């Protein structure tokens, strides 16, 4: 074990993360396993689990202007994003892989095509932690739809890109990088693509990838008040915000108008062996995979992606649900994540930041 790993293992933050995150995972797993039994045994105390949602395949009518639904997957060059892109291409989607590295994008497209030569996949450069890049992505996407003579709409947006940053870094927009990548960027992109999603002649969908770690976050956030960069707490908080955002968007789009074309789901893949912990010392990463593997809590990306694909393909009535555990299953997220007032406050604050960033980019481009 190297010096960095040893230092980290001596910190309170490491043990807090190890214990809290494992407990959050165990809680979700027990919920899935025990609820059917408990609701049977004590029907007055426990409600039965909701019935699972089955996956539906896209089948356009004769007159439908969309022949192949368009799906945008952010962070599609690795782990869950790549697995989701591959699975959705196999489901008949025209998948747009959106990520920041052109080399990694070409490699991911090549790999998917090698696996399935008939897959419809395109690469788009997008840095979700940059408003400028998001606005450029929107322009490129609209241009591509026009050039390809496709209907000017998007049917599915998977907000998957995410990082677990070990140290504090500030983006060009002036935000903490982990917060902008995991939450704010997804909020900005969704709002910018919303007109294309609403323009869909068939039901469209937003899937936000969140995490069991949201259970460790509290509503009174003081994650930046400490001198140290509390990376685990900031990650939890970013995933908690993603969840509040999902429920608020669901309320605005779907709950208020069930005839709405856009539905919104949250998906939690559980613990998956991907590159998410790339900034942590390799020996600690190995140790985490070993311990969670031993506890049967570790999954491959192909299995972990199940809840994301369930959320993408479930019927629109599942809008506002939290998909976990694959097989179409949904569970309850943390009680505080259903706080509608808190979600609204976060929405208003994030929306203000969106407008500020947008106008700054527009003013800068006028100066160029």
Ligand X SMILES: NC(=O)c1ccc[n+]([C@@H]2O[C@H](COP(=O)([O-])OP(=O)(O)OC[C@H]3O[C@@H](n4cnc5c(N)ncnc54)[C@H](OP(=O)(O)O)[C@@H]3O)[C@@H](O)[C@H]2O)c1
Between 66 and 266, name the residue whose CB sits nearer to ligand X. 266
Asked whether position 209 contacts ligand X by CB under 6 A, the answer is yes
One of 158, 161, 216, 262 touching ligand X (CB under 6 A): 161
Piece of the chain touching ligand X by CB under 6 A; list 17-25, 33-41, 57-65, 97-105? 97-105
Nearer to ligand X, 66 or 163 (CB): 163
CB of residue 226 vs ligand X: minimum separation in angstroms?
Answer: 22
Whether the CB-CB separation of 321 and 246 falls below 8 Å is answered with no
Residues touching ligand X, count (CB under 6 A): 29
Nearer to ligand X, 155 or 211 (CB): 211
Is 211 a binding residue for ligand X by CB under 6 A? The answer is yes
Among all residues, which ones are annotated catalytic?
A: 235
Contact call for residues 297 and 270 (beta carbons, < 8 A): yes
Count of CB atoms situated within 10 Å of the CB of 226: 10
Beta-carbon count within 10 A of 291 CB: 13
Residue with tokens 């390799």: 282
For ligand X, the closer CB: 37 or 110: 110
Binding mask 229-268 for ligand X (x = CB under 6 A): ----------------------------------------
Radius of gyration of the chain (CA): 20
Asked whether 323 and 310 are in contact (CB, 8 A), the reply is yes
User: Which residues between 73 and 92 bind ligand X (CB under 6 A)?
Assistant: 74-75, 77-81
**Among 25, 196, 272, 288, which residue interacts with ligand X (rule: CB under 6 A)?**
272
Q: Output the smallest distance, CB 86 to ligand X, in A.
A: 13
Distances in whole angstroms, Cα of residue 37 to Cα of each of 31, 34, 235, 295, 329: 10, 5, 33, 22, 16
Residue 334 DSSP symbol: -
CB atoms within 10 A of CB 302: 13
> Cα–Cα distance between 92 and 118 in angstroms, integer?
10
Instruction: By CB under 6 A, tell whether 101 contacts ligand X.
Output: yes
When the beta carbons of 126 and 311 are compared against ligand X, the nearer one is: 126
In order of 33, 326, 340, the CA distances from 310 in angstroms are: 19, 7, 25
Name the phi and psi angles at 254, rounded to 5. -105, -50
Q: Find the binder of ligand X among 18, 32, 35, 104 (CB under 6 A).
A: 104
> Is residue 274 a contact point for ligand X (CB under 6 A)?
yes
> Which one-letter DSSP state was computed for residue 332?
-
Near ligand X by CB under 6 A: residue from 85, 163, 313, 326: 163
Nearer to ligand X, 77 or 190 (CB): 77
Q: Give whole-number Cα distances, 7 to 3, 11, 97, in Å.
A: 6, 7, 38
**Interaction site with ligand X (CB under 6 A):** 74-75, 77-81, 99-101, 104, 126-129, 160-163, 181-182, 209, 211, 269, 271-272, 274-276
């Amino acid at each position: 074990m190297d010096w960095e790993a040893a230092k980290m293992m001596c910190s309170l933050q490491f043990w807090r993360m190890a214990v809290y995150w494992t407990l959050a995972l165990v809680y979700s797993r027990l919920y899935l396993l025990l609820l059917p039994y408990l609701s049977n045994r004590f029907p007055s105390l426990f409600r039965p689990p909701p019935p699972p949602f089955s996956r539906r395949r896209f089948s356009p009518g004769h007159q439908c202007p969309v022949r192949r639904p368009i799906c945008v997957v952010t962070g599609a060059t690795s782990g869950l994003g790549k697995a989701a892109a591959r699975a959705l291409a196999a489901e008949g989607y025209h998948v747009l892989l959106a990520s920041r590295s052109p080399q990694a994008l070409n490699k991911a497209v090549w790999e998917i095509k090698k696996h399935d030569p008939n897959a419809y996949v395109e690469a788009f450069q997008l840095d979700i932690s940059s408003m400028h890049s998001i606005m450029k992505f929107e322009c490129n996407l609209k241009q591509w739809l026009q050039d390809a003579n496709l209907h000017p709409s998007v049917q599915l947006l998977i907000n998957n890109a995410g990082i677990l940053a070990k140290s504090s870094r500030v983006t060009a927009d002036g935000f903490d990088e982990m917060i902008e990548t995991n939450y704010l960027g997804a909020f900005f992109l969704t709002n910018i693509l919303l007109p294309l999603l609403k323009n869909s002649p068939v039901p469209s969908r937003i899937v936000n990838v969140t995490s069991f770690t949201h259970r460790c976050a509290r509503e009174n956030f003081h994650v930046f008040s400490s001198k140290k960069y509390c990376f685990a707490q900031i990650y939890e908080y970013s995933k908690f915000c993603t969840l509040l955002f999902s429920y608020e968007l669901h309320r605005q789009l779907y709950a208020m108008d069930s005839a709405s074309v856009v539905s919104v789901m949250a998906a939690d893949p559980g613990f998956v062996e991907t590159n998410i912990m790339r900034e942590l010392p390799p020996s600690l990463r190995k140790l985490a995979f070993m311990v969670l593997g031993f506890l049967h809590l570790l999954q491959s990306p192909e299995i972990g992606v199940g809840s994301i694909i369930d959320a993408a393909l479930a019927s629109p009535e599942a809008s506002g649900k939290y998909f976990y555990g694959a097989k179409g299953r949904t569970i309850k997220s943390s009680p505080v994540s259903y706080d509608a007032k808190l979600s609204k406050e976060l929405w208003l604050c994030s929306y203000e930041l969106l407008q500020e960033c947008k106008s700054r980019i527009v003013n800068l481009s006028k100066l160029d």
